[in-house]
A and B are shown apart, each in its own frame.
Chain A
Amino acid sequence: MIQYASIILIMLGLYGLLTNRNVIKIIISLNVFEIGLNLFIISVGYVDGGLAPILTGNSTSVLSFVDPLPHALVLTSIVIGVGTTALGLAFAKKIYAKYGTYEIDEMGVE
C-alpha cells in the first residue's frame, strides 16, 4: 500500500515540475518527488510483522528481520536531498537578485 502512496507522491512531484513556472514551487515539487522516493526506498525493506534488525541473543530467523539496508540508504538520500534543496534555494535567491522575480516567465530570458 505504502508503495502506491509513494509512487503517487513521485508522480505528483513530476507533475509539479511539469506545470510550475515558479522557482520556489519547482523546488517544492522537487522535494515532494524526493519524499516519495525516500518513502519508496523504505517500503522496499519492509517485511510484514518483521523485527528490528538488531542481533540479540535470541534465536530468531534472519528472514523475520526487516531489511536494514534501505534505512541506511534513505538516510544518505535524505541528506543529499537537503543539500540539493539548500543549493536550489540559494540559486533561487540569486535568480531573485538578478531578475527581481521568481516567475520564470517574467524574467524575459530566452
Chain B
Amino acid sequence: MNPVLLIAIPLLFAFLSIMNKKFARPLLLVALLLDVYLVFTISKGLYSIGGFSQYGINLLVDQYSLIGLMVVNVVFFLTVVTNCKEVKRLSTVLLVALAGVNGLLLTNDLFNLFVFLEIVGISAYLITSGNKRPLATFNYLVQGTVGSGLYLLGLILLYSMTGTLNMALILPTIVDKAIPLSNLALPFMLMFIGLGVEAKLLPFNSWVKGVLQNANALTSVLIAGVFATTIALTFGRLLSTVFVLGSISNIVLVILAVTMLAGEVAAFASKRIREVLLFSAIAQSGLIILLFANGLVIPAIMLIIANIVSKYILFTITGKMVDGTKTDEIESLQGVFSKNKLVGFAFTVASLSVIGLPLFFGFIVKLNILTSLFSQYQLFLSALILVVSLIEGTYFVKLLIKLWYSVGEVKTFKVDALVKVVTLIFALGLIVFGVYTKPLTDSLMTVPEEMMEAIAERGNF
C-alpha cells in the first residue's frame, strides 16, 4: 500500500466535501478511518513519487515515521470523534489538516515539508478562528507566516550550497563537498527559527497564549496535541538527520533551556487552568526539542508519546469542564472532580504522568531522559530538567488538590460517556505503560539506526 494515500485520500475528500457540505462530516470520519487502517498496514520503505528517485519527492516510512503516524492518526481520530459537535463547521479544514499532518510525518523532501508546514499552518489558523478571537488568530497567522518564510529562506540557502532538497542527501553532500560549518550556521538557524515558531519555542511563541487560552476541547487538543506532536517529530527528524548545529548549538541550547524554564515558571504564576496547561505544553515541547538537539531520539519519542496522550486527556477534560462551568479560573473550579470522579481520575493520572511519578508512563520517560543525559555527562542540563520538573510538579499538585477538594459551592459539568471512556482508556494506558514498557522500548530500539540508515543508503537510488 502506498503511503501517499495517507495524504491523497484526505485531500480528495476535502475537495469532495466542499461540493456537498452535508457529507463533510461523514467524509472526514471515513477518511480518518481509512488513514488509521492504512497506517497499520503500510510497509516500511522509501517511496518516490512519480518515479524520479532522488530528484523528486520521496516519502519515507521507517519506524520513526510509522510510530508518529500511528500516534497522530489515532489521536486525531479520537479527537474528532469525541468532539463531534464542534467538528461540523470545520470538516473540510480538518481533512486538509489531516493531509498536512501525514505529509509532514512522511515527507523526505525539505521543500515538500515547507508546503505541508503551510498546509498545517493554514488549517491551524482556520481551526483557531473558531475561538472568536480574531486578533489572536491573526497574530498566529503573522507569526506562522514569518516563521515558514524564514524556513523557506533557510532551505533555499541550503539548496544553493548543497544542490539538493532530499533530506537523506543533505548531510552526505555536506560531508562530500566539505562545506564549512560557519556557512551552514545561517540556513540552519533560519530553519530552526521557522520550525521553532510552530513548535512553540520561547521567543517565537507569543501566539500560543492568545490561541490556546480561549480554545475549546477540539482546538486545544488539535493544536497542543496533534499538531505539536507532528511538528516535534518533524523537527526531530531534521535535527537528527539533516541539521549540523555546529556553531549555533549554543544559541539553540539556550533557546530551548529558556523555553523550558519560562514555560514552567509562567505556568506556576498562572491562575487559569487553560493557561497553566498551555504554558506546561510550551515547556514540554522545549524539552522534546532539547532531547532531539542532543541526539537522544528514543527518550524524545517516548516523551512525545507520553505527551500527546496526557495532553489529550488534560485538554479534552479541561475543554469540557470550561464548556460546562463557563469559567476557567482555578479558584472557581474548586472541587469539580468530586462530582465527576472518573474524569477526575483520568485527569489525575495524566498530570501525575506529566510530573513523572512512578507507576505512570511519565516516570519511565523521565528516567530514560535522565539516564541518557547522564551518559552524555550533561550535568547542567539534567539539573535544569530536575529543577523545572519540581516547579511543574508543584503547580500540578496544587491544581489537582484544588480540583478535588472544594471550598464552598461546587460547580458541575457534564461529560459524554464517549469522552469518559476514551480518556479512561488513555489513562489506563499511561498506567500500563508505566508498569510494563518492554513492547514500547523494543519497538523504539531500532529507530535511531533506521534513521541513520536512510542517510547511509543513498547509493541505492
Contact = CB atoms under 8 A, between A and B. Distances in A.
Contacts of A87: 122, 125-126, 141
Contacts of B135: 95, 99, 104, 107, 109
B115 A80 contact: yes
B425 to A, nearest CB: 37
Interface stretch (B151-159, B270-278, B354-362, B441-449): B151-159
Interface residues of A, number: 31
Contacts, number: 67
Contacts of B126: 87
B137 A91 contact: yes
Given A37-B149, A44-B156, A88 B118 contact: no
A83 B117 CA distance: 13
B42 interface: no
Contacts of A37: 149, 152-153
Contact of A17 (B129, B146, B160): B146
B145 interface: yes
B274 to A, nearest CB: 15
Interface string A79-110: 01001100110011011001100001001010
B160 A84 contact: no
Contact of A91 (B111, B118, B141, B157): B141
Interface in A1-49: 10, 14, 17, 23, 26, 30, 33-34, 37, 40-41, 44
A40 B156 contact: yes
Contact of B141 (A10, A84, A98): A84
A34 B147 CA distance: 11
A73 B122 CA distance: 19
Given A76-B115, A98-B134, A104-B135, A17 B142 contact: yes
A84 B153 contact: no
B103 to A, nearest CB: 13
Interface in B277-291: none
Contacts of B146: 14, 17, 30, 33
A75 to B, nearest CB: 11
B426 interface: no
Contacts of A30: 142, 145-146
Contact of A83 (B122, B134, B157, B165): B122
B345 interface: no
Contacts of B114: 77
Interface string B99-119: 000000000000100110010
A18 to B, nearest CB: 11
A77 B111 CA distance: 10
Most buried by B among A14, A17, A69, A84: A84
Interface in B353-408: none
A9 B134 CA distance: 28
Contacts of B142: 17, 26, 30, 88
Contacts of B157: 44
B138 A84 contact: no
Nearest to A73: B111
8 contacts: A17-B142, A37-B152, A37-B153, A41-B156, A70-B156, A70-B159, A99-B135, A109-B135
Interface of A: 10, 14, 17, 23, 26, 30, 33-34, 37, 40-41, 44, 69-70, 73, 76-77, 80, 83-84, 87-88, 91-92, 94-95, 98-99, 104, 107, 109
Interface of B: 111, 114-115, 118, 122, 125-126, 129, 134-135, 137-138, 141-142, 145-146, 149, 152-153, 156-157, 159-160, 165
Given A77-B114, A84-B141, A91-B129, 13 more contacts: A10-B153, A26-B142, A34-B145, A34-B149, A37-B152, A41-B152, A41-B156, A44-B157, A69-B165, A73-B156, A87-B125, A98-B134, A107-B135
